[in-house]
Amino acid sequence: MSDSSKCEKILKSDDGPKLIADAINGFAAKVSEHIDRLSARDKNEGLIKSRLSSITQQIEANNKKIDQVDQSITKSSEAIRKQYMSYLSSYYKAQNQAGYLSMLSSQTSSNAYDSLLQQQATSKTQKS
């Protein structure tokens, strides 16, 4: 109907307006049919509702996976934290023991030196 003269001829004919109305109604019916197929107004089916349901299920599945990964990370971090605290405690104990050993070593060498001096003094007094 791009040619205006054709449109005028159809409109001037006796059944012209009916032909145009039928064409418009046919087009509207086809559009309505496609919309109904997509949205399925009467039913719980339809392409849009089906895809929306599918996307909702995917979102729920992803949220469950996120929760599972989060729980796994939390458990792993707790285990690593406990292991770290155990290592730290062992380190502090070893540090304390090293301090005690150092202190004992210095006391022992000091006592041994004092003891050696006393022995030398005693031996000198006995010789005199």
State the 10-residue block means of pLDDT for the chain, 128 residues long: 69 73 74 72 68 93 98 97 97 90 73 69 68
Residue 86 lies in a domain: yes
Residue 77 lies in a domain: yes
Residue 96 lies in a domain: yes
CA distance 78 to 74: 6
**In the prediction, which pLDDT does 1 show?**
46
* Count of structural domains, the chain: 1
| pTM higher than the cut 0.75 | no
Residue 21 lies in a domain: no
Residue 113 lies in a domain: no
Q: Which domain holds residue 77?
A: 62-108
Look at residues 37, 34, 56, 54 and name the one whose alpha carbon lies nearest to residue 45.
37
Q: Are 11 and 20 in contact (CB under 8 A)?
A: yes
Residue 93 lies in a domain: yes
Q: What are phi and psi of 42, to 5 degrees?
A: -85, -25
Residue 1 lies in a domain: no
